[in-house]
Amino acid sequence: ELGDRTILDSVDAGAKKATALVESNPDASFLDVMSAAVEGAEEGCEATKDMLPKFGKAAVHSAKAKGVIDQGALAGKYMLEGLRNYFADQQ
């Protein structure tokens, strides 16, 4: 679920930012949409700094996780960034 400090927190934030761009500018290019998704994912990553982990090894050391970006969320951002970069190179 959102707020559980997982990959979902960054990917969902990226999807919402991309959707908002398309709704406000239906003529936005695919790369603009992907860039918005990456920007949203970055914001989602930052938000995980204030969340307490509930799963995995991070949950065992939850006190140490405060103030640190969740690694799963960061992986989600890197995935979106990689997709954006791939399609940017194809043009």
Residue 1 lies in a domain: no
Q: Render pLDDT for 37-62 as a digit per residue (tens, 0 to 9).
A: 999 999 999 999 999 888 777 777 78
Q: Range of 56's domain?
A: 7-89
Domain membership flag for residue 2: no
Residue 77: inside a domain:
yes
Q: Does residue 61 lie within any of the structural domains?
A: yes
Round the average pLDDT of the chain to a whole number and report it.
Answer: 93
pTM summary value: 0.90
Task: Judge whether 45 lies within some domain.
Answer: yes
Please check whether residue 39 lies inside any domain of the structure: yes
Task: Tell me the C-alpha distance between 66 and 76, whole Å.
Answer: 19
Asked whether residue 37 is domain-assigned, the answer is: yes
- 63 inside domain: yes
Query: Based on the structure, what is the number of domains in the chain?
Result: 1
